[in-house]
């Protein structure tokens, strides 16, 4: 699933935000992506946000595991 999201982050950056439950950022990224100049920053932003999402999930999982 991670590889698919990474590919989406590069090809269709706004879709990634909807898959990680951030729809407001997804709409903003879509409008940024409409211009060809904005496509590269949108892809970088999507990849960065995807990394943050994975980090948040790891922290959440470690805080729920019994010690």
- Asked whether 5 and 21 are in contact (CB, 8 A), the reply is no
- pLDDT tens per residue across span 12-67: 999 999 988 899 999 999 998 888 788 899 999 999 999 999 998 888 888 886 66
Residue 2 predicted with pLDDT over 70: yes
| Sequence ranges of the domains in the chain | 2-53
CB contact set of 33 (below 8 Å; sequence gap of 6+)? 12, 13, 14, 39, 42
């Amino acid at each position: 699933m991670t590889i698919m999201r990474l590919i989406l982050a590069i090809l269709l950056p706004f879709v990634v935000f909807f898959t990680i439950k951030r729809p407001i950022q997804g709409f903003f990224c879509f409008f940024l992506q409409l211009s060809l100049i904005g496509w590269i920053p949108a892809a970088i932003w999507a990849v960065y946000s995807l990394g943050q999402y994975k980090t948040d999930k790891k922290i959440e999982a470690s805080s729920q595991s019994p010690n």
